[in-house]
């Protein structure tokens, strides 16, 4: 399907605010083997598998974005590694590295990394983001509703052994893990990992009240500065995205803060998300979308149809989202779960 000799970049994907999109988060499934309390309901209704894009269609969509100047693709879910034959997709997309694509990566809960880490590295993946909210086995089971911390830690060990650079993502939960955050940071830095703290995002009904989960990261940073010296990084890293990084003097490691509620970071947004059914969402916090699956399956010339659909989608990319958690029992900003949107 892909010929590196024929690869060329068409008009870059640029929105009406002059922001160039160079980063695609591509979901391969809405399913997950965990049920984290801030992300999913305990009893989820997943999409029929026949509605999901095939691996070939996911590859076609990735190609369309690469032609339009996207240089980084992150595979997401749900949990991407539960998708059958997912290794084949990484193999295929890995062949684009050096031919328009500069980085191929994924976000995972690590439960299946012992099975996949070596193959991911062989395919060209060099970094993984791993979701981990606690180092306490009982808290882990409570947050994930079913997970085994030992399995996740084994996956992290496998990733490190395979040569993958690991970044830990930790959602700050007011009544469950805030007291553990210094320990999490120390552990991650001792392992040689960056770690990023993330505010709870109000997407989808989960059976929990996010008002009781949410804590502003400014408050956590104030607490950390009472025991550690945090120094702002002198320059933004190319891979930082919405994270704002500091260096922790006492550990020597990097600590990131993602603050969708307390400090909107949309001015520099360079990404879009495509769901496992082919919907492109131009903003995590908005519901406007364009159907790329229709362009693939109904058009006589799918390549041209995808290009036209991408151009149309960028016209609708908003200036910013409007997340907020202001009151107990407040409805989520959107009924769509994060697992449906794609990480």
CA distance 276 to 173: 28
Instruction: Confirm whether residue 276 is marked as ligand binding.
Output: no
281 close to 289: Cβ distance less than 8 angstroms: yes
The two tokens of residue 142 are 């409570």
Query: Which residue stretches of 102-180 are H helix?
Result: 113-123, 137-144, 149-162
Instruction: Confirm whether residue 39 is marked as ligand binding.
Output: yes
Instruction: Confirm whether residue 107 is marked as ligand binding.
Output: yes
Q: Which of 9, 16, 23, 29 is nearest to 313 (CA)?
A: 16
172 close to 200: Cβ distance less than 8 angstroms: yes
- Which CA distances in Å does 139 have to 107, 142, 221? 21, 5, 22
CA distance 131 to 137: 15
Instruction: Confirm whether residue 74 is marked as ligand binding.
Output: yes
Instruction: Confirm whether residue 25 is marked as ligand binding.
Output: yes
Residue 323: how many CA atoms within 13 Å on its side-chain side? 21
Contacts of 209 (CB under 8 A, 6+ apart): 328, 329
Angle at 127 between CA 148 and CA 256, to 5 degrees: 80
Binding residues for S-adenosyl-L-methionine: 38, 78, 131, 201
Binding residues for GTP: 25, 74, 107, 167, 271-273
Binding residues for [4Fe-4S] cluster: 32, 36, 39, 266, 269, 283
Binding residues: 25, 32, 36, 38-39, 74, 78, 107, 131, 167, 201, 266, 269, 271-273, 283
């Amino acid at each position: 399907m892909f010929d590196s000799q024929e690869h060329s970049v068409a008009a870059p994907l640029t929105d009406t605010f002059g922001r160039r999109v160079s980063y695609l988060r591509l979901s391969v499934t809405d399913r997950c083997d965990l049920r984290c309390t801030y992300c999913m309901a305990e009893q989820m209704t997943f999409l029929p598998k026949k509605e999901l894009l095939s691996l070939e269609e996911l590859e076609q969509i990735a190609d369309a974005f690469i032609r339009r100047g996207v240089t980084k693709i992150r595979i997401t879910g749900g949990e991407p590694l539960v998708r059958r034959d997912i290794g084949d997709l990484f193999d295929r997309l890995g062949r684009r590295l050096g031919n328009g694509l500069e980085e191929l990566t994924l976000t995972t809960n690590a439960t299946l990394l012992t099975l996949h880490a070596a193959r991911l590295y062989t395919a060209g993946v060099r970094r993984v983001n791993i979701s981990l909210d606690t180092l306490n086995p009982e808290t882990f089971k409570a947050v994930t509703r079913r997970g085994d911390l030992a399995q996740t830690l084994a996956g992290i060990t496998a990733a490190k052994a395979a040569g993958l650079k690991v970044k830990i993502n930790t959602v700050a939960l007011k009544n469950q893990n805030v007291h553990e955050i210094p320990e999490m940071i120390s552990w991650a830095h001792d392992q040689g990992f960056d770690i990023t703290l993330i505010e709870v995002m109000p997407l989808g009904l989960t059976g929990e009240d996010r008002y009781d989960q949410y804590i502003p990261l400014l408050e956590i940073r104030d607490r950390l500065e009472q025991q550690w010296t945090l120094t702002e990084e002198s320059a933004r890293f190319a891979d930082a995205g919405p994270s704002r990084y500091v260096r922790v003097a006492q550990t020597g490691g990097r600590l990131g803060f993602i603050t969708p509620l307390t400090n909107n970071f949309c001015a520099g947004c360079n990404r879009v998300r495509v769901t496992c059914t082919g919907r492109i969402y131009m903003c995590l916090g908005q519901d406007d979308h364009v159907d790329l699956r229709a362009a693939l399956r109904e058009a006589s010339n799918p390549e041209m149809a995808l290009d036209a659909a991408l151009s149309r989608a960028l016209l609708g990319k908003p200036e910013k989202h409007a997340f907020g958690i202001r009151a107990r029992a407040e409805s989520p900003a959107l009924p769509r779960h994060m697992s449906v949107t794609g990480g």
